[in-house]
Amino acid sequence: ARRACRIMGKTKVAINGAGGRMGRRLMALACADEDVELVQAVEYAAHPLQGKMVKDIEPEAQSEVVLSSQLEKGADVVIDFSSPDGTRVIAKRAEELGIALVIGTTAKDFEWRADIKKSSAKVPMIHAQNYSLGVNLMFKVAGQIAKALGDDFDIEIVEGHHNQKVDAPSGTAMGIAGGICDAVGKDIKKDLIYGREGQVGKRKRGEVGVHALRMGSEIGLHTAYYASNFERLEFTHRASSRDVFAAGAIKASKWINGKDAGYYEMTDVLGL
């Protein structure tokens, strides 16, 4: 059985996807946090940085931990910002080893998310669309606004990210859409429109549009538009540094350490 109470001391953290943009910032912030010990850095076996020390991958992370290809015993929590396939592998491995999961990998694949969630029967897990305080507030408030305004207002969600992002729409955009759909009783699998092209006809009352921009070095830009025939409300979140997400994931890893097996939300961590 999982420990029901937090044992005092540092949270021992492993990072999966350590060679990526987010992985590097996670290593830097983990090494800077006096309540965290970075014990493992994991990447897929053929990654070009395999065998290198963390400090050589991310100069801000002064650690001599060596990049490896498999999660091993010794970590309390593994933070995963990798790929859908990488997440699937690490979730099963964490299950086997009894290591808590903090997952930030995103994909617009409902079956994949449901499959990953199964590991929470064995270990504590958070699988958040976004780890920032502001965005998690946005998830909640976007739904409250939609409910208050009603179907006289057309809702469109626009997200923007850097030109290296491989999935669309972003997990954050889907989180905003989820908050809106939950609040007004829509079906996230059926009621979203992803972009428009050709003779699509006039806009249907109650549909929610979702659109993705890919441009330059944009870290994260999300706007929910609510427009009637007479006025428009724009609700925007801008991320100015990737560290906002890394810091949130580190906070979540400290919070989940020692929790019972189960599926937790970032709102639990933030007390929202």
Q: Which residues are catalytic?
A: 161, 165
User: Omega of the bond prior to 169 within 30 degrees of 0, cis?
Assistant: yes
| Other C-beta atoms lying within 10 Å of the C-beta of residue 197 | 5
d(CA 173, CA 267): 17
Write out the two tokens for 144: 């409250």
Burial class, 57, CB count within 10 angstroms (exposed 0-12 / middle 13-18 / buried 19+): buried
